[in-house]
Structure 1
Amino acid sequence: MSVIYHEKQIRELCALHALNNLFQSKGAFTKEEFDSICKSLSPDNWINPHRSALGLGNYDINVIMKALQNRGYEAIWFDKRKDPGCLDLARIDGFILNIPSDYKISFITIPLKRRHWITLKKINGKFYNLDSKLDNPQQIGEDSEFLCYLREEMDSLDKELFLVVSEEVAKNQSWLKDRNSCYSQTNCRDVVEVQLKDLERGN
């Protein structure tokens, strides 16, 4: 079983950590590359709108999308009106979740509206939450458990999900299964009950 690469949070570089965790490689992306992308997106702005004013990070989705495109991938926004069951998980390289986040200095929480980027990825047959703020990767489970996890996350109005797929998969939309499955939800309680029965059998 391979070791899971998990990059920890530094300053406001969660977007950078998210992509390195997604690609499971230290230095797959760098702050210098992200800053260069910011400048290319807004070359004439004295204060760049795609990162924090102090240049410490806080990169937006435009930087993430461009960075992925430089590697032959696309980030696709997932419409929360659809059920995650319509996703072909085998054709998706990973997921990036955007959530609200408190801003802290030492032990003091400052009431600023901040956003945080988190990678969700399947490794060794299990899905993991590779949030850079976690001490260790958090196992979510297999496909059925992961779909339930996504449903719970997508119930929140202030969270957004992006699928990371290859250019080819993005072009032919093969990340999407039969469209009829887009609005038919699996009962997550049934999934949990089955797992408990498996535990009782010692599986």
Structure 2
Amino acid sequence: MESIFHEKQEGSLCAQHCLNNLLQGEYFSPVELSSIAHQLDEEERMRMAEGGVQSEEYRTFLQQPSGNMDDSGFFSIQVISNALGVWGLEIILFNSREYQQLNINPINEKAFICNYKEHWFTVRKLGQQWFNLNSLLTGPELISDTYLALFLAQLQQEGYSIFVIQGNLPDCEADQILGIMRVEQQQRPKLIGEDEANRMSVEQHVSDPGHSTDEALLDEDEEELRKALALSRQDMEVEDEEADLRRAIQLSMQGSSKPRSPGEMNAVMVASSASESSDKETLTADELRRRRQAYFDRQSQQQTQSSTHDSKPAGEDSGTKASQSQ
């Protein structure tokens, strides 16, 4: 992988990087590509002048900026095509009818250049393997033969224009080395600046303790609220079951011979349902009597405790009872 020439992104010079990564060397500079662009502009101006230098079309053409380059470093497909022509290379649109009629398998080609929204990059075969030489990546990305067609199809779906390179590419060291050996890639390259962006995001999060503390406190408050709501629901369920049980006991004391109103029948059904859901079993008559007796015992104990707390001392109470008995 070290033998592969991979020019990384600088400014908006992706067309330069695309060409140099394709040719595997520093063959073109911004000055040379600008010269080609100016030559194309002059040829277009001369063609427009043939219709008359006083025509409205010619004056409009002179007022428009160059369509072959701009100040950011962008170069058009015409500039790239002319630059490749210096090396006897031609380009053909990958999805054109002319090329599709040839029915060529992509893995049998030598290279592709791709463009989307003024960004150019190269996909090239070196040795017997394909590599994505996008200048926005930190290094070459290995592409398997089986994935190449899917990769190109995905680019087309995302709106890329893909051009096939036809002709003999210049010899390069990477092509010779990879022609006798294959390489494996354990980890795919990342986008340039991705690690830096992630690092800055982490540092910003750590350097803002107030924000993280507020988030932690908010999470704790939400957790406490959820616990409180859960406990309150449990208390309400217990109270509802006890109330249903009291109503069922009262109704059962009236005996089965006494007619019951629809509301009373509903109370019995609710009590039975609550008891079944809490004990996971159906109450029999004996179990209902035992629960009724336990209920009365609790009521009696509560009344005894209440009377003992509110009554007078035991001696005075005994004296009073003795005098009353006499």
TM-score (norm 2): 0.41
Structure 2 residue 3 is matched with structure 1 residue 3: yes
Partner in structure 1 of residue 148 of structure 2: 146
In 1, Cα distance between equivalents of 2:156 and 2:165: 17
Q: Residue 153 of structure 1 aligns to which amino acid in structure 2?
A: L
Partner in structure 1 of residue 163 of structure 2: 162
In 1, Cα distance between equivalents of 2:156 and 2:30: 29
Indicate which of 43, 47, 67 corresponds to 1:49: 67
Indicate the larger mover: 34-43 or 71-80.
Answer: 71-80
Distance 1:139 1:28, change over 3 A: same
Aligned CA-pair RMSD: 2.6
Indicate which of 75, 80, 83 corresponds to 2:91: 75
**Displacement of 1:35:** 0.6
Structure in which a larger fraction of residues adopt strand:
1
The alignment partner of 2:92 has SS state of strand
* Bigger Rg, structure 1 or 2: 2
**Displacement of 1:86:** 2.8
The alignment partner of 1:49 has SS state of coil
Alignment check: 8 A CA contact 2:8 2:137 kept: yes
**Displacement of 1:8:** 0.6
Matched ranges for 1:4-19 at <5 A: 4-19=4-19
Tell me the alpha carbon deviations over residues 112-161 of structure 1, each in whole angstroms, 9 at most, x when there is no partner.
xxx2101001113211110101111111112x2211211222223x2110
Tell me the alpha carbon deviations over residues 158-203 of structure 1, each in whole angstroms, 9 at most, x when there is no partner.
2110011118xxxxxxxxxxxxxxxxxxxxxxxxxxxxxxxxxxxx
Partner in structure 1 of residue 126 of structure 2: 123
Q: Residue 104 of structure 2 aligns to which amino acid in structure 1?
A: L
**Displacement of 1:89:** 4.3
Indicate which of 62, 74, 82 corresponds to 1:58: 74
Alignment check: 8 A CA contact 1:84 1:150 kept: no
Q: Residue 57 of structure 1 aligns to which amino acid in structure 2?
A: G
In 2, Cα distance between equivalents of 1:60 and 1:48: 10
Partner in structure 2 of residue 21 of structure 1: 21
The alignment partner of 2:143 has SS state of strand
Partner in structure 2 of residue 34 of structure 1: 33
Q: Residue 5 of structure 2 aligns to which amino acid in structure 1?
A: Y
The alignment partner of 2:113 has SS state of strand
Alignment check: 8 A CA contact 1:80 1:154 kept: no
In 2, Cα distance between equivalents of 1:162 and 1:98: 9
In 2, Cα distance between equivalents of 1:63 and 1:36: 9
Q: Which has the higher contact order (CA 8 A, sep 6+)?
A: 1
In 2, Cα distance between equivalents of 1:147 and 1:19: 22
The alignment partner of 1:97 has SS state of strand
Partner in structure 2 of residue 98 of structure 1: 115
**Tell me, which stretches of 5 or more residues in structure 2 are unaligned?**
46-61, 169-326
In 1, Cα distance between equivalents of 2:147 and 2:39: 40
Alignment check: 8 A CA contact 1:84 1:151 kept: no
**Tell me, which stretches of 5 or more residues in structure 1 are unaligned?**
101-114, 168-203
**Displacement of 1:16:** 0.6
Distance 1:118 1:128, change over 3 A: same
Distance 1:17 1:84, change over 3 A: farther
Q: Which runs of 4+ in 1 moved over 4 A?
A: 80-85, 88-91
Structure in which a larger fraction of residues adopt helix:
2
TM-score (norm 1): 0.65
What percent of counterpart residues are identical? 31
Matched ranges for 1:173-188 at <5 A: none
